[in-house]
Amino acid sequence: MGRMSSASLVHAVISSVFWAVFFGSLLGGCEDTCLDADGQCTVSTPCEALAFTCPSPTATVITLGVGDPIVGGVDALAAPGDVVLSNGVVSAVIDALDHPHYVAPTGGQLLDLVSASGDNDSLTHLFHAVGLLPGDSFHYERMTTTQGEGYAAVQVHGRLDGYDDVRVVTRYEIRPCEPGIRVRTEIQNRAIETRIWALVDAWYWSGREVIPFAPGVGRGFEQPGIIDPVEASWERQPFMLAGSHGERPATYLEVACSEEELYGFHSDQISAVGTEPRIVQPRSYEVFERFIGVTDGSALGPASDVALELRRQLHAEQYAVVRGQVEGRALGDEVRASVEISQGTGAMAAEDRAAFTQVVPAADGSFSARVPRGHTYHAQLFNFGRPGDSAEVTVGVAATEAEFGTLTAEDPAELELSVLLEGSADFAQVFVRPADEETRQSVSARLFGSFSSTPPCAPLLGAPQGGSPACDRVLVRDPVTVLLPAGSYDLFATAGLFATVARETVTLAPGETRAVELGLSRLDIAPVGTLGADFHVHGGASFDSTVPDFDRVQAFLAANVDVIAATDHDAVWDYADARAALSADDRIQVMVGLETTGHILFDLTPGEDIPQVIGHWNVWPMPFDAAGPYRGAPWDELVEPGALFDRFVQAGWPEETGVIQLNHPWSEAQFGRDLGFPRAVGVDANQPLPREDDGTGPGLVLRTPPGAAFSNADYHTQEVMNGTSNEDLQPFREYWFYLLNQGIVRAGTANSDSHGLVDGVVGTPRTLVWTDQTVADFDQATFNRAVRDGEMIGTNGPVIEVSTVDAAGAPRTPSVQHFAPGAAGLVHIRVTAAPWVPVEEVRVIVNGQVARTFAAELMHPSDPFGVDGALRFEGDLALSEILPGGSADAWVVVEAGSPLPVAGDINCDGIVDTGDNNGDGEVDYRDVDRNDDDLVDAADLDEIDGPPEACDRDQDVGPLGHPAPPARGEVGYEFLAVTPGGYPMSFTNPLLFDRDGGGFTGPGLGAAP
Amino acid sequence: MTRDRLMLLTLLTLLLGVSVAQPAVAQNSPDAPDADGLEPCATVSRSRPIGPLQVGNLDGMLAVPHRACPRAELAVGGDFLLVADSADLYGNIRINGRVRGSVPLLDSKLEAFVSWEAVRYQTILSAVSAAYLGLGYLSFGVSGQVYEEGGAVIAVTSRFVAPTTTGLDQGSYPLALDVGLTAAYQLNPALRLHGWFTLLGSVGAGGPGEPRGGLRFGGGLDWAMAPAISMVVEAVTGFGYADAIDLLAAQLGIRLGLGDEVGLELALSLPIIAPRGLTTGALPITAALMVNWHLP
């Protein structure tokens, strides 16, 4: 031992002891949280400053059992095992831990929230997260319920899904008389590294559901959503509101208790409100308390009234009541007349005022709303979505009431619509279109001016998300009356693809009432032995639809389809009540199915940094369980398709006779979620698909996931046409051809993917299935065998009949069954269509290439509203003229309709992606809409520094082009009027020629036609 | 425990530490090298920094070994931390403006030191990003030489880190302590070895305690290429604080002596094994630049 300073040693010891004492003194007196108690403690009551009273105070918590009544509403999904908090004013459903929904990895989140009526759930889901990445979601592991004096509560403990070292606990508490639930979340970063959190309640709306609202300058219904940089999306707001607009609407609200205000953003997909994004040091924790409420109806006023009472109690913010009166007739409807109240004056530009709330005048025209004191308020009346009269009032700091005075509403016209089919009242749909530019400009509007990314309605007859009338469309059976702004309109009545279209032009003055009767005739176009089917439709059971079941089934009937595959997102639904109410089963067969919809991102594609989902898959039939989780559907997250198919079987899908369909295989991802499996895994259509799993993304397409009984390619049909506007026809078609060329044969279908009365027209397009059945003697298994066999065509108007004979002399029609071609070598082609459907050319596709086009040979009807001229083309074509020489296998598909728009493949993945959108005759980077404003112009080039590298896979692409829309009076205008955004198109399934006798193995990529 | 109470306790601690100290009494000046050049606490260029590199990745310089040789000096500078983990969409950038000082206590073998992040900027980059700009952490401690013979010196050091941040820590305020041994050995006039062993611990106050402890040891070589300049290479390992093996880092530094009064140290640390180290696919770098004034 060397020299040692005794003084040094003494001081070292003293300092160590001192630190130990110091540490010990600090460890006492921790704040009362449950973050270090491993679930054994009780989380503090949230929002303790609140107190509501009522005559019959009650608060209960129950765990739902089999047979217990469940809340109702378009989004209601409560099931046994879920927990319900009720107080007679509201009921809230917390999903069971093993019943996760949508983006949330586990239950323990808010699934349903209804007012006292108990039947207006319009909440898709509310889950908790601290960011936008998959691992940022709360993963709850334990749930407890408690009930005591004056409260009932659910407490859930867990962690962040991607971080075991972040602990979370949430208490949902309901107290008597309160119009909502109190929620307290505690979260602590137990990691050693610094993180970032924005602790939010993520209200998953999913589109076409509610319209969120947050007070603020230039805000209200106008919300920018997620902007760049992302953190700038978080805006301060005193509360948030969100109203649904369906059959039994509800409005939701959230107010922060532990903070003065909320921070968050809103879009029609999701609202996220909570705390401001902030850096979180190791051990730091957050506590966030808030009140989540619900009121009846779609108007925001009642909900903002609750929000202000909450803020008065929590934050001592005093309010006054402003009142007003609207003069006019037929009031009480949100589209007919609505008042938006904002802070500011009429002299200010609308975007400079601070939107505060919105009310719907009662039938007698009266309205009122609570507002904070000490401001001037502006009331803006909206008629059919367009601004009208306005008023303002100043509310003093001590005032308790103020009066806007009287606002005068526009006098509407009234239209009494009736449609006769073959002389009798029947199901039909009427499209109301402006007949001149002046009317179009005058009546174009969006509901509350919200979400400018969606097209306006002209006119706005009803909420686009809801039932009839919706936007500019009306379902008609018996005479129906609609209110609309004065103007000149074309009224188009349609009863589907195989009936005439009727048109009536009317000019309506303010206050005028007009009765219009439109007559339709059935057309003998559908080939004998066929049933028209739509294998992809959604209703209110889907998380992104609020169309009422009754209207949905009425739309099925108005489209005159024979078979529907009900394929709601992530939930099985059978529409039984609506079918019964409309006696629909006499005219239509509904096969109960499902569209699985991946929400939770995971590592799917090898080498891909961005987590993904497997896209959407339709499956039918599925057993319906009226009260079960997901109503009988399996949980569809975090698996490859083959493993998902196993879950179908476990859920009762009949493997031998059921159908699995690959939906929209090449659609662009939405909200970071892939819609089509092959695009998600990065298929390069210039290269053959790996037959074995080679560790690449494309290698996933044909592989069987470990432990699965199915391969990822064990589906039966693929959508070639999806949606009424048919915007992705070309890439879907090219992917289908790509598989056929490799001998990977799946039947092609055409479906509307309709989610409501506006986004797509049921049955347009549809699949015509050759089967010897009728609706009356329908056998699902037999029908589905024909579907699996591909005995069908897809169409939005033209009907193609193709036949030939095989080597044995037997007649053959398109299907997925291969055969040796007959010696005669002729293909017979017949094309028919309703007179309002233009058919400009018939294309014969051989091995993916156009081998022959008929155009001059086609016949065209003289009267688009008549009943004559259905036959457009009929003739024989020698196979020797179109098939390549030699004995290699070949396939033939026939198409009819409009010429396809010019399209190019600028990212060189073998699938067209972009149209000639700037019209310069060349498809290149200059045709890309980079700023998503639905225009291709110079502004899009400002988004890039220069031309992207040729064939850069990551470059922006699209959109694909459409034929120029015909003007009023031009050929095709009638088609466009009842087929919004679409152009005529039909296709057959293939004729598969096994020319070498070895079965159909495909001609290979790049095979010559 | 309120934040105000915590701050008060921190200040009291600091005052207490100062009050028990006695004025420094110089005995053997460490600044003058032995005639044989084997004085481990001396540098020919008097102001050139010595001892372990002053760079680390934990807040408040926790577990950064203090030199075994007391000095009276004042230093200013800054340190920079970058952690980039693109696969996990995680980025952490931290820039501190730092003030550091040390004075001998009682005798030349005992030293009190303090280091304070007078300005701290930090941003976390992910799908959502956020930034902090404010005060950083304060650390202070003592170091006492307990052995000195034959060109070797060993000191016991202890450091306390207090959360003097302004809004960065939330709910729970971390308190941290390290206690360790630092040794130096003059191999020859140009080469000096140093090594250290440190026990570190931290705990949260005001919220769940979440105590955490670990140990680190490492060593390095200081090669004086010229009287006024030296290069330093180090390896540091850590265990138990974040994981069983939570750190293996290579460190590199350059030191200058700019006359008798002013010195400079630029240090770089590259974690190979760490919760987000090179082996996990991340790019973690910590760097520090300090300019010191050697006080009389």
* Overall size of chain A counted in residues: 1009
> Token pair of A531, please?
């049933």
**Binary contact (B110, A7; C-beta < 8 A):** yes
* Residue A510: DSSP 8-state: T
Give the CA distances from residue A202 to residues A127, A254, A590, A869, B232, in Å, rounded to whole numbers and listed in that order: 5, 11, 34, 55, 51
Question: Do residues A735 and A910 make contact, with C-beta atoms less than 8 angstroms apart?
Answer: no
> Token pair of A71, please?
């809340």
Question: Do residues A138 and A170 make contact, with C-beta atoms less than 8 angstroms apart?
Answer: yes
pLDDT in tens, chain B (296 residues): 444 444 444 444 443 343 333 333 333 344 444 444 568 888 777 889 999 999 999 999 999 999 999 999 999 999 999 999 998 899 999 999 999 999 998 777 899 999 999 999 999 999 899 999 999 999 999 999 999 988 899 999 999 999 999 999 998 999 999 999 999 999 988 999 999 999 999 999 988 888 999 999 999 999 999 989 999 999 999 999 999 999 999 999 999 999 889 999 999 999 999 999 999 999 999 999 999 998 87
Which chain B residues have a beta carbon less than 8 Å from that of A196?
124, 126, 128-130
**Binary contact (A230, B13; C-beta < 8 A):** no
* Residue A673: DSSP 8-state: B
Q: Which of B2, B124, B128, B246 to mutate to test the interface with A (most CBs of A within 10 A)?
A: B128
Q: Rg of chain B over CA atoms, in angstroms?
A: 19
Question: Do residues A708 and A702 make contact, with C-beta atoms less than 8 angstroms apart?
Answer: no
State the pLDDT at residue A453.
57
CB neighbours of A976 closer than 8 A, spacing ≥ 6?
Answer: A965, A966, A982, A983
Sign of CA dihedral A232, A235, A240, A241: negative
Alpha-carbon A799 to chain mean position: 30
Which chain A residues have a beta carbon less than 8 Å from that of B152?
2
pTM to 2 decimal places: 0.91
> Token pair of A615, please?
């896209």
Q: Kindly state whether A278 is in contact with chain B, defined as any CB-CB distance less than 8 angstroms.
A: yes
**Binary contact (A279, B123; C-beta < 8 A):** yes
Confidence of residue A899 (pLDDT cuts 50, 70, 90): very high
Q: Provide the shortest C-alpha distance from residue A35 to chain B (in Å).
A: 7
Find the mean pLDDT for residues A838-851: 97
Kind and range of the H or E element at B21? none
* Residue A501: DSSP 8-state: E
Q: Which residues pair with A986 in a beta bridge?
A: A795, A896
Q: Which residue has the tokens 């997909």?
A: A269
Instruction: List helix spans (H) across A681-811.
Output: 729-741, 780-788
Distance between CA A330 and CA A327 in Å, rounded?
10
> Degrees (nearest 5) of the Cα angle A889, A895, A901?
115
* Residue B259: DSSP 8-state: T
User: Quick count: other Cβ atoms within 10 Å of Cβ B122?
Assistant: 22
Question: Do residues A820 and A994 make contact, with C-beta atoms less than 8 angstroms apart?
Answer: yes
Question: Do residues A960 and A910 make contact, with C-beta atoms less than 8 angstroms apart?
Answer: no
Give the CA distances from residue A747 to residues A567, A642, A661, A677, B219, in Å, rounded to whole numbers and listed in that order: 18, 18, 9, 17, 69
Which chain A residues have a beta carbon less than 8 Å from that of B150?
2
Q: Which residues pair with A906 in a beta bridge?
A: none
CB neighbours of A441 closer than 8 A, spacing ≥ 6?
Answer: none
CB neighbours of A750 closer than 8 A, spacing ≥ 6?
Answer: A719, A720, A721, A722, A765, A766, A767, A793, A794, A795, A796, A986, A987
Residue A653 has pLDDT above 50, yes or no: yes
Distance between CA A928 and CA A935 in Å, rounded?
9
Q: Which amino acid is at A327?
A: E
- For chains A and B, count residue pairs whose Cβ atoms are closer than 8 Å: 182
Kind and range of the H or E element at A657? none
Q: Which residues pair with B185 in a beta bridge?
A: B152, B193
Alpha-carbon A375 to chain mean position: 39
Find the mean pLDDT for residues A802-819: 96
In terms of DSSP bridges, do strands A849-854 and A841-846 run parallel, antiparallel, or are they unpaired? Answer: antiparallel
> Token pair of A684, please?
């390069």
> Token pair of A743, please?
């001998």
- Taking Cα atoms as reference points, which of B12, B267, B74 lies closest to residue A22? B12
Instruction: List helix spans (H) across A524-629.
Output: 549-559, 576-581
Helices A6-26, B3-20: inter-axial angle, 10-degree rounding:
170
**Binary contact (A281, B174; C-beta < 8 A):** yes
> Token pair of A1006, please?
């790049």
Closest residue on chain B to A190 (Cα): B210
> Token pair of A302, please?
């009642």
Strand segments (E) across A60-132: 60-63, 83-86, 90-94, 110-115, 125-129
Of B86, B210, B242, the CB nearest to A283: B210
Q: Provide the shortest C-alpha distance from residue B292 to chain A (in Å).
A: 25
Q: Provide the shortest C-alpha distance from residue B43 to chain A (in Å).
A: 21
> Degrees (nearest 5) of the Cα angle A197, A198, A199?
100
Which chain B residues have a beta carbon less than 8 Å from that of A276?
130
Q: Provide the shortest C-alpha distance from residue B259 to chain A (in Å).
A: 30
**Binary contact (B1, A15; C-beta < 8 A):** no
Question: Do residues A336 and A413 make contact, with C-beta atoms less than 8 angstroms apart?
Answer: no
State the pLDDT at residue A932.
81
> Token pair of A399, please?
């005032």
State the pLDDT at residue A144.
96
CB neighbours of B249 closer than 8 A, spacing ≥ 6?
Answer: B235, B236, B237, B269, B270, B271, B272, B273, B274, B277
Which chain A residues have a beta carbon less than 8 Å from that of B130?
196, 198, 231, 276-279
State the pLDDT at residue B38.
61
Percent of chain A predicted with pLDDT > 70: 96
Q: Provide the shortest C-alpha distance from residue A155 to chain B (in Å).
A: 19
State the pLDDT at residue A451.
59
Closest residue on chain A to B156 (Cα): A12
User: Quick count: other Cβ atoms within 10 Å of Cβ A854?
Assistant: 19
Q: Kindly state whether A190 is in contact with chain B, defined as any CB-CB distance less than 8 angstroms.
A: yes
Q: What is the ipTM of this complex?
A: 0.88
Which chain B residues have a beta carbon less than 8 Å from that of A193?
83, 92, 275-276
Q: Provide the shortest C-alpha distance from residue B260 to chain A (in Å).
A: 27
Which chain A residues have a beta carbon less than 8 Å from that of B86?
609
**Binary contact (B158, A12; C-beta < 8 A):** yes
Find the Cα–Cα–Cα–Cα dihedral A347, A353, A355, A357, rounded to 10°: -30
Q: Provide the shortest C-alpha distance from residue A180 to chain B (in Å).
A: 28
Least confident window among A164-178, A333-347, A891-905, A953-967: A953-967
Residue A18 has pLDDT above 80, yes or no: no
Question: Do residues A158 and A97 make contact, with C-beta atoms less than 8 angstroms apart?
Answer: no
Distance between CA A596 and CA A607 in Å, rounded?
25
> Token pair of A878, please?
């020698």
If DSSP codes are grouped into helix, strand and coil, which group holds residue B252? strand
Of A11, A196, A283, the CB nearest to B110: A11
Alpha-carbon A451 to chain mean position: 14
3-state helix, strand and coil shares in percent for chain A, rounded to the nearest 5: 15, 35, 50
Find the mean pLDDT for residues A324-352: 95
Of B126, B142, B209, the CB nearest to A15: B142
Distance between CA A483 and CA A503 in Å, rounded?
19
Averaged pLDDT of chain A: 94
Distance between CA A462 and CA A459 in Å, rounded?
9
If DSSP codes are grouped into helix, strand and coil, which group holds residue A71? coil
> Token pair of A217, please?
């300058």
Q: Which residues pair with A408 in a beta bridge?
A: A327
If DSSP codes are grouped into helix, strand and coil, which group holds residue A381? strand
Confidence of residue A38 (pLDDT cuts 50, 70, 90): low
If DSSP codes are grouped into helix, strand and coil, which group holds residue A765? coil
Q: Which of B94, B172, B198 to mutate to test the interface with A (most CBs of A within 10 A)?
A: B172
